[in-house]
Amino acid sequence: MGRPCRAPPLSSFKNFCGRALRHVVAGGEAWVALIGWQAGAYKVGVRDAWIGWTHDQRLSRLHLIANTTRFVILGEGYVPNMARGYLG
């Protein structure tokens, strides 16, 4: 299991490429986690085969896919199984 960060790594949240969405998970007044989402990768063979997309379907539906690119649990607000509660 990874250890919680001691300081908020906010610099990693500033440098996303393309379309992105950032979430702050708060527990009361404290930030407990940072979550970053980005637009889906253009071509991932395993994903496309699992979904069953043709080339044309992938082009028309790729905007419906998002990738989790950052999930950082901050040290002061660590809660066991937090990811399950926020991402599930």
Give the count of domains, the chain. 1
> Is 2 contained in some domain?
no
CA–CA gap between residue 39 and residue 66 (Å, rounded): 5
pLDDT for 21 beyond 70:
yes
Looking at residue 11, its pLDDT comes to 64
Looking at residue 77, its pLDDT comes to 55
Average pLDDT over residues 15-30: 80
Residue 70 domain boundaries: 10-87
pTM: 0.62
Looking at residue 52, its pLDDT comes to 92
**pLDDT, tens only, 32-73:** 888 888 888 888 889 888 999 888 998 898 888 888 888 877
> Is 54 contained in some domain?
yes
* 3-class secondary-structure state, position 71: strand
> Is 3 contained in some domain?
no
CA–CA gap between residue 6 and residue 18 (Å, rounded): 29
Looking at residue 1, its pLDDT comes to 47
